[in-house]
Structure 1
């Protein structure tokens, strides 16, 4: 009364004061409890304690969109390890926040923020990272709450202020967002760039563009569902290039302008948007690893293989059904390149069970006489016939001609059906096959039929040291029996 709080109000204020005192006491008690439960890390020199925290990082802390850290909708399930370390106690929080190396990976999805404003969180994270190089992952949100570009503009601008520290930039977002990543200083340390359009190729008829204020020239570049002509990216320093859902013209232009390129992967390549395709041959003297998959057959033959010569090529993979015309094109490509190919992968899946005749596969394999490793998979490759060929071919034929794949050291077979298991023991009777590593994994891993006599012979070979592995449901059929 008398203008002051009533008795009930005074009691409530007193309870609030006591609650606050109890909360303070509990925090102090928890600090002492944590110190008691962890008597070591906070007593080490700070540089040792910081190193221990760094050792606790998981793979998804370095690559936040590592598949094991995602749920079915592409959103991370785990909180970042640096954040978790900061919640242990005050001492750990101070230690974590004073270890810049813990905060060099920035990742988020384009979803509506929930508790902590994203801009505030990103600014704090960038501050904690000190002046160290940054790895940035940004992905699309696939849930029900999409965000506008206006909402994420300030967040991207905060990242742009640190563009001089970008070491890796991975964008898996609608292409309309690309234009926001302008940068405010040269990105001299940006060695890894992934530009993946998770939306439509065109937006209102305009080409989506990734054009920074300072032209990036990464070492590793991945592009998906964009057009090279709309993106200002230097290729002069590239050693690794991945292109998916792009035009054949973009692929050829990128390879031509990347003289240091050593590894190239092309997937789902077509001719969309191509007005004209370069038709002059070119020779790439550094390309060692070429992986082509799901490329339209006419483009595979008439554009990619016909135009290129790759004398340094050591590894080649083809992920599509092989036809006679494609085999002839590959043979011409290998011979024209005069390459000493060591690793070859052929994936011969098709809509029918009709297999390519063995003589055409032999023709292809005879064009790569220095082959050390061979990977065959699919339902259209004559696996049984090739096993028979290996079982009957000596290292040297009559007249001094080398036999079939005389230098082969590793053979991996993935097939729907393998019935001629009896050829395998005969393969290992040849002296030059004694150390051959053979891995067989039927597509129907529950269905392996080997007669008793052949099974005994293979088991004896394994007991004698033969490197034979038959995988059934992830387990070694012979070694797990």
Structure 2
């Protein structure tokens, strides 16, 4: 019941924004009464039409609303997009605050009609991934939207993706406090938790109960530094034991994380001693990535004994200083290491330390990826010594793009002249190599590439070379083209374009014009 705008009496009709009738001392006159009656009939017709449209949608929908609800719900689940499950997919870290620009698929499904909305809202699995940033919403209050989403997800496990907001209208502390508190009440259902935000926000994610199903934990302090220049420590009221852990620009305490289940660890902007202690406390660790390691901080001390890790299979070092790179490899032994990646300045000393690390680890390395960021490029002679130490290598990727870097001709020559087994019974030069990826400025001896495929054990070798200069002579060009026609997996990229596909199309065009 509401008050009429004209007579201020209770009525069931929807009030209109018009002036009250003043002809009969506030009581509606005949004309006003007739208008009120028409308004009531309009409202009744609108209600009837909405109900009719719902029935029409259900009658005309040839699929969703005609199936059993369980089948219809499964069809809605199949319509979910990849970014519905991974909102950070395809976004670089500085674009994470653009998540809300894409309306989640469950909202789109709910907007079709009333039947679809009821079906979507009664399918909890549609609402298990919650993503938003801390910007003030334009329509629905953030707290109400989050609370609704949590209710719709039922008691299922939750994947939560939240990032800070660098725009002009971020949420206030009064607004984000209740939102984060609501999420904390469901910490027992956290399966994936991705937090990309400044430290003052991170401190609020402490949880209310231990998430026994927490699988992925991603915590990134951005911006990096606090007011006093130190890194914050991320703590929860419980001790999370994730399987995959990523921590960026956070002080690490070994007492705050359960390491027993950890198989994948990524650390960026961490102190060197904290990285070592983290690896030491994770007995099941299989993959480790470290980037932009800083000097020692805090009270953690590094034991002098070797760190032998029997399960580690992938080690990835990114932008690590020369002294820390050497110290790290000197401390570690990884007998099961299969993949090594480095995106750093690779000096002669660093290549030597990597060679020593592989030798004393007695590893059977299968993949090697090196991105040399040095004005002198990569030491080709040192690289050859390194590759001779890993005869089981199957994948090799090298990148050095300085113009005055050495040509990789010696590497190509070794591949073209080495049999699978040498005369003394030892393996030849990389006999098991299959994909070879090179990214560089120039190559002088392109004729080595056709020679590589004269060996039977090189027939399955795939070669991809990205070069700024592709000065290939006519004879070599013909030989490589013939190999490609015969099925050899050879790609030469010039300025991002496939050189042989482009040149062949250009020749065909000239022939047609002639």
Q: TM-score interval w.r.t. the shorter chain?
A: over 0.9
* 386, 399, 418: which one aligns with 1:364: 386
The 8 Å contact of residues 407 and 442 in structure 2, kept in 1 or not, is answered as no
Aligned residue for 1:413, secondary structure, equals strand
1:465 and 2:487 matched: yes
Output one character per residue of 1:109-133: Cα deviation in whole Å (capped at 9) or x when no partner: 0111221111111111111111110
1:54 and 2:80 matched: no
- Cα drift, residue 208 of structure 1: 2.5
- Following the alignment from structure 1 to structure 2, what is the Cα–Cα distance between the partners of residues 415 and 356? 10
- Cα drift, residue 402 of structure 1: 2.8
- Cα drift, residue 381 of structure 1: 6.0
- Cα drift, residue 25 of structure 1: 4.6
* 40, 44, 47: which one aligns with 2:63: 40
Aligned residue for 1:290, secondary structure, equals strand
The 8 Å contact of residues 268 and 290 in structure 2, kept in 1 or not, is answered as yes
- Cα drift, residue 64 of structure 1: 1.4
- Following the alignment from structure 1 to structure 2, what is the Cα–Cα distance between the partners of residues 29 and 276? 70
| Residues 38, 318 of structure 1: alpha-carbon distance in 2 compared, 3 angstrom cutoff | same
Q: What is the aligned partner in structure 1 of residue 320 from structure 2?
A: 295
- Cα drift, residue 168 of structure 1: 0.4
Q: What is the aligned partner in structure 2 of residue 452 from structure 1?
A: 474
| Residues 368, 8 of structure 1: alpha-carbon distance in 2 compared, 3 angstrom cutoff | farther
Aligned residue for 1:414, secondary structure, equals strand
Aligned residue for 2:193, secondary structure, equals strand
- Following the alignment from structure 2 to structure 1, what is the Cα–Cα distance between the partners of residues 151 and 83? 21
1:5 and 2:24 matched: no
| Residues 326, 206 of structure 1: alpha-carbon distance in 2 compared, 3 angstrom cutoff | closer
| Residues 107, 435 of structure 1: alpha-carbon distance in 2 compared, 3 angstrom cutoff | same
Output one character per residue of 1:336-381: Cα deviation in whole Å (capped at 9) or x when no partner: 101011111111132x2x3444221111111111111111111346
The within-5 A match list for 1:271-310 is: 271=295, 273=297, 278=302, 279-302=304-327, 304-310=328-334
Aligned residue for 1:395, secondary structure, equals coil
The within-5 A match list for 1:248-263 is: 248-263=272-287
- Cα drift, residue 392 of structure 1: 2.1
* 54, 61, 77: which one aligns with 1:31: 54
- Cα drift, residue 174 of structure 1: 0.6
Q: What is the aligned partner in structure 1 of residue 17 from structure 2?
A: none
Between 142-151 and 368-377, the greater mean CA deviation after superposition: 142-151
- Following the alignment from structure 2 to structure 1, what is the Cα–Cα distance between the partners of residues 496 and 477? 19
- Cα drift, residue 38 of structure 1: 2.2
Give the TM-score of the pair, scaled to structure 1.
0.92
Q: What is the aligned partner in structure 1 of residue 462 from structure 2?
A: 437
Output one character per residue of 1:52-92: Cα deviation in whole Å (capped at 9) or x when no partner: 00000001100112226999573122100001101100110
Between 19-28 and 183-192, the greater mean CA deviation after superposition: 19-28
Q: What is the aligned partner in structure 2 of residue 403 from structure 1?
A: 428
Aligned residue for 2:237, secondary structure, equals coil
| Residues 172, 467 of structure 1: alpha-carbon distance in 2 compared, 3 angstrom cutoff | same
* 149, 152, 171: which one aligns with 2:176: 152
Aligned residue for 1:412, secondary structure, equals strand
- Following the alignment from structure 1 to structure 2, what is the Cα–Cα distance between the partners of residues 205 and 399? 60
The 8 Å contact of residues 163 and 187 in structure 1, kept in 2 or not, is answered as yes
The within-5 A match list for 1:319-398 is: 319-350=343-374, 352=375, 354-379=376-401, 380=405, 382-398=407-423
- Following the alignment from structure 1 to structure 2, what is the Cα–Cα distance between the partners of residues 112 and 185? 28
- Following the alignment from structure 1 to structure 2, what is the Cα–Cα distance between the partners of residues 57 and 70? 23
* 92, 102, 118: which one aligns with 2:142: 118
- Cα drift, residue 274 of structure 1: 5.3
The 8 Å contact of residues 316 and 340 in structure 2, kept in 1 or not, is answered as yes
- Following the alignment from structure 2 to structure 1, what is the Cα–Cα distance between the partners of residues 124 and 312? 38
Residue ranges of structure 2 left out of the alignment (5+ in a row): 1-22, 505-514
- Cα drift, residue 233 of structure 1: 1.6
- Cα drift, residue 417 of structure 1: 2.2
- Cα drift, residue 451 of structure 1: 2.0
- Following the alignment from structure 2 to structure 1, what is the Cα–Cα distance between the partners of residues 74 and 49? 30
- Following the alignment from structure 2 to structure 1, what is the Cα–Cα distance between the partners of residues 200 and 96? 22
Bigger-Rg structure (1/2): 2
| Residues 231, 56 of structure 1: alpha-carbon distance in 2 compared, 3 angstrom cutoff | farther
The 8 Å contact of residues 314 and 340 in structure 2, kept in 1 or not, is answered as yes
- Following the alignment from structure 1 to structure 2, what is the Cα–Cα distance between the partners of residues 297 and 71? 28
The 8 Å contact of residues 265 and 289 in structure 2, kept in 1 or not, is answered as yes
Aligned residue for 1:75, secondary structure, equals helix
The 8 Å contact of residues 357 and 382 in structure 1, kept in 2 or not, is answered as no
Q: What is the aligned partner in structure 2 of residue 267 from structure 1?
A: 291
1:241 and 2:270 matched: no
Give the TM-score of the pair, scaled to structure 2.
0.86
The 8 Å contact of residues 306 and 329 in structure 1, kept in 2 or not, is answered as yes
| Residues 183, 33 of structure 1: alpha-carbon distance in 2 compared, 3 angstrom cutoff | same
- Cα drift, residue 430 of structure 1: 1.4
Q: CA RMSD in A?
A: 2.4
Q: What is the aligned partner in structure 2 of residue 131 from structure 1?
A: 155
Aligned residue for 1:67, secondary structure, equals coil
Aligned residue for 2:139, secondary structure, equals coil
Between 244-253 and 22-31, the greater mean CA deviation after superposition: 22-31
Aligned residue for 1:359, secondary structure, equals helix
- Cα drift, residue 166 of structure 1: 0.4
- Cα drift, residue 237 of structure 1: 1.1
| Residues 143, 374 of structure 1: alpha-carbon distance in 2 compared, 3 angstrom cutoff | same
Aligned residue for 2:500, secondary structure, equals coil
Q: What is the aligned partner in structure 1 of residue 509 from structure 2?
A: none
Residue ranges of structure 1 left out of the alignment (5+ in a row): none
1:426 and 2:448 matched: no
